[in-house]
Amino acid sequence: MTTNKSYPGTYEGVHQVLDYLLGPDGCPWDKKQTHESLADMFLEECYELIEAIEEGDTGKIVEELGDVLFHVLFQLKLGEDGGKFRRDEVMGTLVDKLVRRHPHVFDNKWVPDAEGAIANWDAVKRQERAESGASILDGVPKNMPALAYAQSIQSRAERAGFDWDDFQGVLDKVAEELSEIEGAGSDKEREEELGDLLFSVVNAARWLGIEAEASLRGTNRRFYGRFVIMERLSRERGVSFDSLSMDEKEQLWREAKAMTPDEGNGG
């Protein structure tokens, strides 16, 4: 790893680079940015970090962590320069929240395991919401990916005691929603019933201890990888993929699947 001689490879070094970028001799593009203009790019960087983590690529994790950190510091800088908040306000709010929501660590309310720690955390959050009059579902960002949002609000509802008695009830609900799609009489009804089906499938994932969003990303990666192999095999054999019959494409799919055994047996 090389470090720029003008700026140390430290937290403070990143601040120094950012200060220069936004200074008189800095970057015109950077100086035009706002909290709002950076939001989508920040989200994209977070997704790229998640992808690097799921791929287990240490080099990419290092790079993407840096990109995410830069966006955090950029947002802090914009807030400070605009007089909206101070850096110590952000850090102080975080410190207060961490201490308040870890009574088993900082307030002698001992718990024996991670489940007890989560229970303590949830109890503090419920108290905070009760004092503010907020719903237990408030605080989950509504612009999260829909599968992840569904699982988050389901988990909160479950912790409030609103849940099925057993997994069979969850599976029965999935089957019920599937049959309701078949009986829907309009496009609007089919759209609503499909949403209900997806919501029920996410609930099944939650009961199985599976993150629905991560599960679907895994399936997407497998499909992408195998489809690319199908296209490559077609080129190598001198045939146009588009011209193949569905049976021939299905044969290519089986070949591609056999070439990616490490991706599991799904799909």
Domain boundaries defined on the chain: 11-95, 101-132, 146-210, 213-263
pLDDT score, position 127: 83
Does residue 3 register a pLDDT over 80?
no
The sign of the torsion formed by the CA atoms of 16, 17, 22, 26 equals positive
Fold category of 146-210 in CATH = Helix Hairpins (1.10.287)
> In sequence order, which residues have a C-beta less than 8 Å from that of residue 217 and are 6 or more positions away?
54
Give mean pLDDT, residues 49-55.
92
Rg (CA), the chain: 25
pLDDT score, position 4: 58
The better pLDDT of the pair 204, 2 is held by 204
Instruction: Quote the tokens at residue 4.
Output: 């720029």
Q: Do 177 and 195 contact (CB within 8 A), yes or no?
A: no
Q: Do 204 and 171 contact (CB within 8 A), yes or no?
A: yes
- What is the band of 1 on the pLDDT scale with cuts at 50, 70, 90? very low
How far, CA to CA in Å, does 131 sit from each of 83, 100, 120, 219? 29, 15, 17, 42
Give mean pLDDT, residues 155-177.
93
Chain centroid offset of residue 52 CA: 13
Give the residue from 210, 254, 219, 216 showing the smallest Cα distance to 233: 254
Does residue 101 register a pLDDT over 80?
yes
Identify the three-state secondary structure at position 3. Answer: coil
Q: 9-21 as b/e, with b when 16 or more CB fall inside 10 Å?
A: eeeeebeebbeeb
How far is it, in rounded angstroms, from Cα 45 to Cα 43?
Answer: 5
Q: Do 68 and 76 contact (CB within 8 A), yes or no?
A: no
- At 250, the amino acid letter reads E
Among the ranges given (4-13, 75-84, 194-203), the one the predictor scored with the smallest mean pLDDT: 4-13
Does residue 178 register a pLDDT over 50?
yes
Give mean pLDDT, residues 58-73.
96
Does residue 158 register a pLDDT over 60?
yes
- What is the band of 192 on the pLDDT scale with cuts at 50, 70, 90? very high
Mention the CATH class of domain 11-95.
mainly alpha
The answer to whether domain 11-95 and domain 146-210 are alike in fold is yes
